[in-house]
Amino acid sequence: MSGPEPSHPMYVTVLAEDRLTAQGVEAHLAADERVRVLAAGAEQPPDVLLVITGELEEKTFAALGRYCPKGPAEAPRLVLVAHRPTAAQLVRAAGLGLVAFMSRERTTLA
């Protein structure tokens, strides 16, 4: 049993290490009428920030900080796809609004 349809689309921004990955994920998401893809750096804040990376590095956290400057209460919901983050990295991401982590090795577009 599914719930009611949302009254407005979900706005998603995709941040990926490479443009090919970003474009593929954006195209997949854009095919769903319930989702609107926002370009990175768009004026409108996203509802969800999807971050796809190999390793969580300082540059990744710097990018997250631009979307989450006031902490998780005002940040978009953060979904992280990465190889093997440490517990400390996940805790740090949680402080920026992390709601889901998926292993890059096991994640597909489906």
Any domain includes 99: yes
What domain range is 57 assigned to?
A: 10-106
pLDDT tens figures, 39-69: 988 888 899 999 999 989 899 888 888 887 6
Judge whether 5 lies within some domain. Answer: no
Confidence (pLDDT) at 47: 93
Q: Tell me the three state secondary structure of residue 80.
A: strand
| Residue 4 is assigned to a structural domain of this protein | no
What is the number of structural domains in the chain?
A: 1
The answer to whether residue 2 is domain-embedded is no
Reported pTM: 0.86
Q: What distances in angstroms separate CA 61 from CA 6, 21, 69, 92, 96, one per listed residue?
A: 30, 19, 11, 9, 9
Is the pLDDT score of 2 beyond 70? no
* Mean pLDDT of all residues belonging to the chain: 87
**3 within a domain of the structure (yes/no):** no
